[in-house]
Amino acid sequence: MSSGSAWEVNFDGIVGLTHNYAGLSFGNVASADHGGETSSPKQAALQGLEKAWALSEMGLRQAVLPPQERPHVPSLRRLGFAGSRDAVVIANAAQQAPHLLAAASSASCMWVANAATISPFADTDDGKTHITPANLCSMFHRSIEPPTTGRVLRAIFADDSFVHHQPLPAGTQFSDEGAANHTRFCADYGSAGVEFFVYGDDLNRDSVRPSKFPARQTLPACEAIARNHGLDSARVVYAQQNPQAIDAGVFHNDVIAVGNRSLLFHHELAFLDTAKVRAELNSALGAELEYIEVPAASVSLQDAVRSYLFNSQLLQVPGQGGTALVVPGECEEVGSVHRYLQELEAGDNSIHKVHYFNLRQSMNNGGGPACLRLRVVMTDRQITESRARVFLDEALYQDLRHWVEKHYRDAIAPADLVDPNLLVECRTALDELSQLLNIGSVYDFQLN
Ligand code: SUG
């Protein structure tokens, strides 16, 4: 496969119709801080689409992934909420366990960086692109996602150049949160790269681990994915997150580090042993990476988490040398971070331009630009062979805008989750969306 014909395609998650603030994610500071507030699903979806469209207009390859059906009635039924009609199941859950109804109503699948880990064809022993949906087993509201995620990914990446694996077995030993803890370094997207897996816990008795918040990714999970994907062990690097960072609210590595091609942008306290990380990455790649390390003295861990500075996208904009950095608008509001970014833009490094985007609705649940996207290296052929209409052009962007305007609510307060109309609205909208995107039947309500 010639390197010139491969692209990084950013698939952005479309925010779902039930986007709400239920404070579900322990260890995710924004989710806890905004729990109980009123959300705006419409604004959330439009903010996400604007970011995707802006990147597309810069000349980058941009695509979308659809949201899931929520509230997820099959999960409520599994938990013992019965009823001849779905509305009765929802009413029973609302009355007996409103927190479980909130969990089954979360639109968390929008953060598609947690949807799967993807190893492109250039890294694998059979020359195919390997995909493993994340089991997301550390939080109930996210553990509902994998079956539908798997069906959506199979519908989009359908030809035989893709291999779809089952999510890893559930159980904390194999807790896997997908691409949020996985980065790929390479000279060109189409040539063999180094895959970098970051975990919070190696499960060894004597290891250091966070004391306040959970580690959501384990080393055995990373190793199982590398085996399944047929990666060359000489080109895989594993690194442990700094437990201090997890305890400050860094629940995924993409909240404290981001990499692309031969650049790693990270906080001083991202990894337990930074010198070892660098030595291993350089040796696996056979070349020196560029490291931009942000000192804790310039940006504290707290400011990094408040601003989501590292939950950013490093992008190679066609026709421009260097790398563009896409960050959330909050980076302009946190003084230390804004000062740092101004210096970075002016300084002698490969990041030449910073783009700020308003993603406030998603940010309030702990999801910035990098959480909203799943990177897939694709050849022209893989793109043209996909029957799905998910690659963003002006017509699809306009269709999606109209679809959001037509179906989404302006506001959802916690008490609104008991409204059975939400389910009807969601199913009607998703039925239309699956036709618009030409992905066939992927939702439980379409299959049963
Ligand atoms: O898993 N928030 C998500 C945010 C995921 C961010 N993704 C990445 N860093 N890649 C999570 O914690 C909050 C839902 C709520 O509280 O209603 C939530 O699930």
Indicate which residue's Cα is closest to atom 10 of ligand 1.
Answer: 371
Distance between Cα 325 and ligand 1 center (Å):
22
**Closest residue to atom 19 of ligand 1, CA basis:** 108
**78 found inside a domain:** no
- Residues forming beta bridges with residue 265, ordered by sequence position: 258, 292
Residue 392 counted as domain residue:
yes
Q: How many CB atoms lie within 10 A of CB 402?
A: 11
| 146 preceded by a cis bond (ω within 30 of 0) | no
Contact 114 CB / ligand 1 (< 6 Å): yes
First to last CA, the chain: 41
**CA-255 nearest atom, ligand 1:** 9
Q: Residue 309 is part of a domain; what is its CATH number?
A: 3.75.10.20
Domain-embedded: residue 116 = yes
Structural domain contains residue 88: no
Atom of ligand 1 nearest to the CA of 114: 10
Residue 330 lies in a domain: yes
Cα 33 to chain center, whole Å? 21
**CA 57 to centroid of chain Cα atoms:** 22
* Residue-level pLDDT at 56: 98
Beta strands in 58-189 (DSSP E): 61-65, 116-119, 129-133, 162-164, 182-185
- 260 contacts: CB under 8 Å, gap ≥ 6: 8, 183, 185, 314, 315, 316, 323
**99 in a domain, yes or no?**
no
Atom of ligand 1 nearest to the CA of 32: 16
Residue with CA nearest ligand 1 atom 14 = 24
What are the average pLDDT values for consecutive 10-residue runs of the chain, which has 448 residues?
A: 74 98 96 97 98 97 98 98 97 98 98 98 98 98 98 98 97 96 97 97 95 97 98 98 98 98 98 98 97 98 98 95 96 98 95 97 98 98 96 98 98 97 98 98 95
> How many whole angstroms from 320 Cα to the centroid of ligand 1?
33
Strand order in the sheet with 116-119: 116-119, 129-133, 162-164
Both tokens assigned to 40: 């705006």
Residue 340: partners with Cβ closer than 8 Å, 6 or more residues away: 294, 298, 299, 309
Cα(235)–Cα(282) distance, rounded to whole angstroms?
Answer: 10
364: Cβ below 6 Å to ligand 1? no
Amino acid at 266: H
State whether the beta carbon of 28 lies less than 6 angstroms from ligand 1: yes
Give the number of domains in the chain. 1
Q: Is the CB of 255 under 6 A from ligand 1?
A: yes
Range of the domain at 358: 6-70+105-447
Catalytic residues: 177, 252, 371
Q: DSSP letters along 343-378, please?
A: HHHHSSSSEEEEEEE--HHHHTTT--TTTTEEEEEE
Specify the pLDDT at position 321: 86
- Residue 254 gets the label, from left (phi > 0), alpha (psi -120 to 50) or beta, of alpha
> Which residue, judged by its Cα, is nearest atom 7 of ligand 1?
371
Q: What is the pLDDT of residue 448?
A: 78
For residue 87, being part of any structural domain is answered with no
Both tokens of residue 424?
A: 């009807």
Q: Please check whether residue 77 lies inside any domain of the structure.
A: no
Interhelix angle for 41-57 vs 394-407, to 10°? 170
